[in-house]
Structure 1
Amino acid sequence: MEIRKATIHDVDEMQPLIQQYADQGLMLPRSAKSLYEHIQCFTVAVKDGKVVGTVGLHILWKDLAEVRSLAVDPGYQGQGIGRKLVERAIWEAEQLGVEQVLSLTYQADFFRKLNFHIVDRDSLPHKVWKDCVYCKKFDRCDEIAMVYYTQSFKSVHDPVASIL
Protein backbone atom coordinates (compact mmCIF):
# COMPACT_ATOMS: atom_id res chain seq x y z
CA MET A 1 0.00 0.00 0.00
CA GLU A 2 1.17 3.50 -0.85
CA ILE A 3 0.37 6.69 1.10
CA ARG A 4 0.89 9.76 -1.09
CA LYS A 5 -0.39 13.23 -1.89
CA ALA A 6 -3.58 13.16 -3.93
CA THR A 7 -3.59 14.25 -7.55
CA ILE A 8 -6.41 15.43 -9.77
CA HIS A 9 -6.53 11.91 -11.21
CA ASP A 10 -7.67 10.57 -7.80
CA VAL A 11 -10.78 12.74 -7.45
CA ASP A 12 -13.09 10.35 -9.31
CA GLU A 13 -12.36 7.70 -6.65
CA MET A 14 -12.09 10.05 -3.64
CA GLN A 15 -15.45 11.76 -4.09
CA PRO A 16 -17.69 8.65 -3.93
CA LEU A 17 -15.60 7.28 -1.04
CA ILE A 18 -16.28 10.44 0.97
CA GLN A 19 -19.89 10.63 -0.20
CA GLN A 20 -20.80 7.19 1.16
CA TYR A 21 -19.93 8.41 4.67
CA ALA A 22 -21.62 11.77 4.08
CA ASP A 23 -24.80 9.90 3.09
CA GLN A 24 -24.71 8.24 6.53
CA GLY A 25 -24.34 11.65 8.25
CA LEU A 26 -20.83 10.78 9.42
CA MET A 27 -19.03 13.59 7.60
CA LEU A 28 -19.73 16.54 5.38
CA PRO A 29 -20.07 15.86 1.66
CA ARG A 30 -17.38 17.02 -0.76
CA SER A 31 -18.19 17.82 -4.35
CA ALA A 32 -15.72 16.99 -7.08
CA LYS A 33 -15.31 20.76 -7.54
CA SER A 34 -14.34 21.17 -3.89
CA LEU A 35 -11.86 18.31 -4.11
CA TYR A 36 -10.24 19.76 -7.22
CA GLU A 37 -9.99 23.18 -5.57
CA HIS A 38 -8.34 21.72 -2.46
CA ILE A 39 -6.48 18.74 -3.92
CA GLN A 40 -3.18 19.98 -2.48
CA CYS A 41 -4.65 19.44 1.02
CA PHE A 42 -5.41 15.75 0.46
CA THR A 43 -3.49 12.52 0.92
CA VAL A 44 -4.63 9.15 -0.37
CA ALA A 45 -3.96 5.51 0.38
CA VAL A 46 -3.62 3.44 -2.79
CA LYS A 47 -3.64 -0.35 -2.93
CA ASP A 48 -3.36 -2.27 -6.19
CA GLY A 49 -3.90 0.95 -8.14
CA LYS A 50 -7.14 1.79 -6.30
CA VAL A 51 -7.74 4.69 -3.89
CA VAL A 52 -8.84 2.94 -0.71
CA GLY A 53 -8.58 5.86 1.71
CA THR A 54 -8.32 9.62 1.86
CA VAL A 55 -7.76 12.41 4.35
CA GLY A 56 -7.54 16.18 4.12
CA LEU A 57 -5.48 18.56 6.25
CA HIS A 58 -6.99 22.02 6.33
CA ILE A 59 -5.17 24.93 7.97
CA LEU A 60 -7.61 26.99 10.06
CA TRP A 61 -5.24 29.40 11.79
CA LYS A 62 -1.55 29.81 12.59
CA ASP A 63 -1.74 27.23 15.38
CA LEU A 64 -4.64 25.03 14.25
CA ALA A 65 -5.21 22.57 11.41
CA GLU A 66 -8.05 20.11 10.94
CA VAL A 67 -8.17 16.52 9.77
CA ARG A 68 -11.10 16.41 7.33
CA SER A 69 -12.81 13.89 5.10
CA LEU A 70 -11.07 10.85 6.59
CA ALA A 71 -12.58 7.94 4.70
CA VAL A 72 -11.48 4.35 4.20
CA ASP A 73 -13.19 1.96 1.80
CA PRO A 74 -15.28 -0.41 3.97
CA GLY A 75 -13.61 -3.41 2.32
CA TYR A 76 -10.22 -2.21 3.55
CA GLN A 77 -11.05 -1.21 7.12
CA GLY A 78 -9.17 -2.77 9.99
CA GLN A 79 -5.85 -2.72 8.11
CA GLY A 80 -4.43 0.45 9.70
CA ILE A 81 -5.13 2.63 6.67
CA GLY A 82 -7.02 5.30 8.62
CA ARG A 83 -4.25 5.41 11.23
CA LYS A 84 -1.58 5.83 8.53
CA LEU A 85 -3.53 8.61 6.84
CA VAL A 86 -4.00 10.54 10.11
CA GLU A 87 -0.33 10.05 11.01
CA ARG A 88 0.62 11.51 7.62
CA ALA A 89 -1.68 14.50 8.22
CA ILE A 90 -0.10 15.05 11.65
CA TRP A 91 3.38 14.84 10.10
CA GLU A 92 2.40 17.46 7.51
CA ALA A 93 1.03 19.74 10.23
CA GLU A 94 4.29 19.40 12.16
CA GLN A 95 6.30 20.23 9.02
CA LEU A 96 4.23 23.40 8.67
CA GLY A 97 4.79 24.36 12.32
CA VAL A 98 1.14 23.96 13.29
CA GLU A 99 0.73 23.32 17.03
CA GLN A 100 -2.64 21.58 17.14
CA VAL A 101 -4.50 19.22 14.83
CA LEU A 102 -8.27 19.10 15.31
CA SER A 103 -10.78 16.42 14.50
CA LEU A 104 -14.52 16.78 14.88
CA THR A 105 -15.55 13.16 14.99
CA TYR A 106 -17.91 10.40 15.99
CA GLN A 107 -14.92 8.04 16.26
CA ALA A 108 -13.43 9.19 19.57
CA ASP A 109 -11.86 5.82 20.38
CA PHE A 110 -9.99 5.76 17.07
CA PHE A 111 -8.57 9.25 17.59
CA ARG A 112 -7.82 8.61 21.28
CA LYS A 113 -5.53 5.75 20.20
CA LEU A 114 -3.64 8.31 18.09
CA ASN A 115 -3.14 10.59 21.14
CA PHE A 116 -5.92 13.04 20.37
CA HIS A 117 -7.59 14.55 23.45
CA ILE A 118 -11.20 15.63 23.89
CA VAL A 119 -11.56 19.41 24.17
CA ASP A 120 -14.44 21.83 24.53
CA ARG A 121 -15.62 22.92 21.09
CA ASP A 122 -15.83 26.48 22.42
CA SER A 123 -12.04 26.44 22.84
CA LEU A 124 -11.77 26.38 19.03
CA PRO A 125 -13.21 29.72 17.90
CA HIS A 126 -11.33 29.71 14.58
CA LYS A 127 -13.12 26.50 13.62
CA VAL A 128 -16.51 27.36 15.07
CA TRP A 129 -16.80 30.77 13.42
CA LYS A 130 -15.16 29.78 10.13
CA ASP A 131 -16.97 26.54 9.34
CA CYS A 132 -19.32 25.33 12.06
CA VAL A 133 -21.51 28.40 12.02
CA TYR A 134 -22.61 27.41 8.48
CA CYS A 135 -23.35 23.78 9.31
CA LYS A 136 -26.97 22.65 9.48
CA LYS A 137 -26.15 20.91 12.78
CA PHE A 138 -24.63 24.06 14.35
CA ASP A 139 -27.23 24.36 17.15
CA ARG A 140 -27.27 20.62 17.87
CA CYS A 141 -23.77 19.43 16.95
CA ASP A 142 -23.11 15.97 18.32
CA GLU A 143 -19.55 15.53 17.07
CA ILE A 144 -16.72 15.25 19.57
CA ALA A 145 -13.95 17.85 19.33
CA MET A 146 -10.52 16.28 19.72
CA VAL A 147 -7.06 17.80 19.42
CA TYR A 148 -3.60 16.36 18.87
CA TYR A 149 -0.74 18.49 20.21
CA THR A 150 2.19 18.38 17.77
CA GLN A 151 5.87 18.56 18.60
CA SER A 152 5.69 22.30 17.78
CA PHE A 153 3.13 22.76 20.56
CA LYS A 154 5.05 20.60 23.00
CA SER A 155 8.33 22.47 22.47
CA VAL A 156 6.67 25.87 22.93
CA HIS A 157 4.64 24.87 25.99
CA ASP A 158 7.17 22.61 27.76
CA PRO A 159 9.41 24.69 30.05
CA VAL A 160 12.09 21.97 30.11
CA ALA A 161 12.21 21.70 26.30
CA SER A 162 12.58 25.48 25.98
CA ILE A 163 15.69 25.41 28.22
CA LEU A 164 17.37 22.64 26.20
Structure 2
Amino acid sequence: MTVEYVIRKAHLDDVKAMHGLLLHCAQKGLLLPRALIYLYGHIRNFFVAEMPGGELAGCCALAPVWEDLGEICSLVVRDDMRRRGIGRSLVQACLGECRELHLQKIFALTYQEGFFTRSGFEVVEKSILPQKIWADCVHCPKYPDCDETAVFLHLGEARTA
Protein backbone atom coordinates (compact mmCIF):
# COMPACT_ATOMS: atom_id res chain seq x y z
CA MET A 1 0.00 0.00 0.00
CA THR A 2 1.43 3.35 -1.07
CA VAL A 3 1.13 6.14 1.47
CA GLU A 4 1.16 9.75 0.35
CA TYR A 5 2.97 12.16 2.61
CA VAL A 6 5.15 15.24 2.34
CA ILE A 7 8.38 15.77 4.26
CA ARG A 8 8.76 19.42 5.22
CA LYS A 9 10.29 21.62 7.87
CA ALA A 10 8.18 21.78 11.01
CA HIS A 11 6.06 24.83 11.85
CA LEU A 12 5.14 26.12 15.29
CA ASP A 13 1.59 24.91 14.61
CA ASP A 14 2.99 21.34 14.50
CA VAL A 15 4.45 21.35 18.01
CA LYS A 16 1.46 19.94 19.89
CA ALA A 17 1.02 17.08 17.40
CA MET A 18 4.78 16.38 17.50
CA HIS A 19 4.66 16.39 21.29
CA GLY A 20 1.83 13.85 21.21
CA LEU A 21 3.74 11.53 18.87
CA LEU A 22 6.91 11.77 20.96
CA LEU A 23 5.06 11.31 24.26
CA HIS A 24 3.29 8.19 22.96
CA CYS A 25 6.63 6.58 22.05
CA ALA A 26 8.29 7.77 25.26
CA GLN A 27 5.55 6.12 27.32
CA LYS A 28 6.37 2.85 25.57
CA GLY A 29 10.07 3.32 26.41
CA LEU A 30 11.13 3.78 22.78
CA LEU A 31 12.70 7.23 23.19
CA LEU A 32 13.20 9.98 25.73
CA PRO A 33 10.35 12.47 26.13
CA ARG A 34 10.64 16.07 24.96
CA ALA A 35 8.95 18.93 26.79
CA LEU A 36 6.80 21.39 24.87
CA ILE A 37 9.23 24.20 25.64
CA TYR A 38 12.06 22.15 24.11
CA LEU A 39 10.05 21.56 20.93
CA TYR A 40 9.12 25.22 20.58
CA GLY A 41 12.74 26.27 21.18
CA HIS A 42 14.17 23.75 18.70
CA ILE A 43 11.46 23.84 16.02
CA ARG A 44 14.00 24.79 13.34
CA ASN A 45 15.75 21.44 13.85
CA PHE A 46 12.65 19.39 13.01
CA PHE A 47 11.19 17.86 9.89
CA VAL A 48 7.69 16.38 9.82
CA ALA A 49 5.89 13.90 7.61
CA GLU A 50 2.51 15.42 6.77
CA MET A 51 -0.40 13.38 5.44
CA PRO A 52 -2.79 14.82 2.78
CA GLY A 53 -5.32 15.95 5.42
CA GLY A 54 -2.66 17.81 7.40
CA GLU A 55 -2.22 15.13 10.07
CA LEU A 56 1.36 14.33 11.08
CA ALA A 57 2.64 10.80 10.55
CA GLY A 58 6.06 11.44 12.10
CA CYS A 59 8.87 13.80 12.96
CA CYS A 60 12.64 13.86 13.28
CA ALA A 61 15.27 16.44 14.23
CA LEU A 62 18.81 17.24 13.19
CA ALA A 63 20.69 18.86 16.06
CA PRO A 64 24.14 20.31 15.34
CA VAL A 65 26.43 19.34 18.23
CA TRP A 66 29.91 20.50 17.23
CA GLU A 67 31.72 22.02 14.25
CA ASP A 68 31.24 18.98 12.00
CA LEU A 69 29.10 16.73 14.21
CA GLY A 70 25.32 16.46 14.23
CA GLU A 71 22.73 14.25 15.90
CA ILE A 72 19.61 12.67 14.44
CA CYS A 73 17.13 12.70 17.32
CA SER A 74 13.45 12.53 18.23
CA LEU A 75 12.66 10.25 15.30
CA VAL A 76 9.14 8.93 15.60
CA VAL A 77 6.58 7.54 13.18
CA ARG A 78 2.98 6.92 14.14
CA ASP A 79 2.36 3.24 14.98
CA ASP A 80 -0.12 2.68 12.15
CA MET A 81 2.23 4.31 9.60
CA ARG A 82 5.41 2.33 10.29
CA ARG A 83 7.21 0.24 7.67
CA ARG A 84 6.15 2.56 4.85
CA GLY A 85 9.37 4.50 4.35
CA ILE A 86 8.39 7.52 6.43
CA GLY A 87 11.20 7.14 8.98
CA ARG A 88 13.75 6.67 6.22
CA SER A 89 12.42 9.77 4.41
CA LEU A 90 12.67 11.84 7.59
CA VAL A 91 16.27 10.73 8.19
CA GLN A 92 17.13 11.45 4.54
CA ALA A 93 15.75 14.98 4.94
CA CYS A 94 17.99 15.47 7.97
CA LEU A 95 21.01 14.10 6.09
CA GLY A 96 20.28 16.52 3.24
CA GLU A 97 20.39 19.36 5.71
CA CYS A 98 23.70 18.03 7.07
CA ARG A 99 25.24 18.74 3.71
CA GLU A 100 23.87 22.30 3.73
CA LEU A 101 25.31 22.88 7.21
CA HIS A 102 28.65 21.18 6.34
CA LEU A 103 28.17 18.51 8.98
CA GLN A 104 30.28 15.50 8.09
CA LYS A 105 29.71 13.18 11.06
CA ILE A 106 26.23 12.17 12.17
CA PHE A 107 25.17 10.04 15.11
CA ALA A 108 22.06 8.91 16.90
CA LEU A 109 21.39 7.32 20.26
CA THR A 110 18.66 4.80 19.68
CA TYR A 111 16.74 1.72 20.72
CA GLN A 112 16.13 1.02 17.01
CA GLU A 113 19.65 -0.07 16.05
CA GLY A 114 18.44 -2.18 13.09
CA PHE A 115 16.66 0.75 11.44
CA PHE A 116 19.81 2.85 11.52
CA THR A 117 22.21 0.10 10.41
CA ARG A 118 19.92 -0.60 7.43
CA SER A 119 20.24 3.14 6.66
CA GLY A 120 24.04 2.99 6.51
CA PHE A 121 24.94 3.85 10.11
CA GLU A 122 27.31 1.66 12.10
CA VAL A 123 27.21 0.84 15.80
CA VAL A 124 29.93 2.63 17.78
CA GLU A 125 30.97 3.14 21.39
CA LYS A 126 29.39 6.17 23.06
CA SER A 127 32.87 7.25 24.17
CA ILE A 128 33.50 8.70 20.68
CA LEU A 129 30.82 11.33 21.39
CA PRO A 130 32.32 13.49 24.18
CA GLN A 131 30.58 16.69 23.02
CA LYS A 132 27.17 15.01 23.24
CA ILE A 133 27.85 13.49 26.64
CA TRP A 134 28.83 16.79 28.20
CA ALA A 135 26.23 18.91 26.44
CA ASP A 136 23.11 16.76 26.88
CA CYS A 137 23.67 13.38 28.47
CA VAL A 138 24.69 14.72 31.88
CA HIS A 139 21.17 16.19 32.17
CA CYS A 140 19.42 12.93 31.25
CA PRO A 141 17.74 10.92 34.02
CA LYS A 142 19.42 7.77 32.64
CA TYR A 143 22.95 9.22 32.90
CA PRO A 144 25.42 7.55 33.37
CA ASP A 145 23.56 4.26 32.79
CA CYS A 146 22.35 4.94 29.25
CA ASP A 147 20.83 1.89 27.60
CA GLU A 148 20.61 3.35 24.10
CA THR A 149 22.91 2.24 21.28
CA ALA A 150 25.14 4.79 19.57
CA VAL A 151 25.15 4.68 15.77
CA PHE A 152 27.37 6.76 13.50
CA LEU A 153 27.53 7.79 9.85
CA HIS A 154 30.41 9.61 8.17
CA LEU A 155 29.12 11.62 5.23
CA GLY A 156 32.58 12.47 3.93
CA GLU A 157 33.45 15.86 2.54
CA ALA A 158 30.29 17.91 2.98
CA ARG A 159 31.55 21.18 1.53
CA THR A 160 30.68 22.04 -2.05
CA ALA A 161 32.64 24.29 -4.39
TM-score (norm 1): 0.90
Match runs of 1:1-20 below 5 Å? 1-20=5-24
- Tell me if the contact between 1:94 and 1:151 (Cα under 8 Å) persists in the aligned partners: no
Matches within 5 A, 1:36-47: 36-47=40-51
RMSD of equivalent CA atoms: 1.5
SS state of the match for residue 43, structure 1? strand
1:41, distance to aligned residue in structure 2 (A): 0.6
Is 2:130 the counterpart of 1:125? yes
Deviation at 1:133, TM superposition (A): 1.4
Q: Specify the alignment match of 2:151 in structure 1.
A: 146
Matched residues in 2 for 1:148 and 1:107: separation?
15
Secondary structure at 1:129's aligned position in 2? helix
Equivalent residues of 2:9, 2:48 under 8 A apart: yes
1:26 corresponds to which of 16, 19, 30: 30
Question: How many equivalent pairs are there?
Answer: 155
Q: Pairwise mapping of residues 53-68 of structure 1 onto structure 2 (< 5 A)?
A: 53-68=58-73
State the AA in 2 paired with 1:35. L
Q: Counterparts in 2 of 1:85-164, with a 5 A limit?
A: 85-152=90-157
Counterpart amino acid of 1:20?
Answer: H
Name the % identity.
39
Deviations 1:107-141 (A, max 9, x none): 11100011001111001100111111121211221
Deviations 1:38-65 (A, max 9, x none): 1111000001211111001101001111
Normalised to the residue count of structure 2, the TM-score between the two structures is: 0.91
What residue ranges of structure 1 are gaps of 5+ in the alignment? 156-164
Deviates more, 1:27-36 or 1:3-12: 27-36
Aligned match of 1:52 in 57, 62, 66? 57
Cα distance in 1 between the residues matched to 2:84 and 2:19? 21
- The answer for unaligned runs of 5 or more in structure 2 is none
Aligned to 1:73: 78
State the SS of the aligned residue for 2:74: strand
**Computing the radius of gyration over CA atoms, which structure comes out larger, 1 or 2?**
1
Task: Kindly indicate which of the two structures has a greater share of residues assigned to helix.
Answer: 1
CA separation in 1, counterparts of 2:30 and 2:134? 21
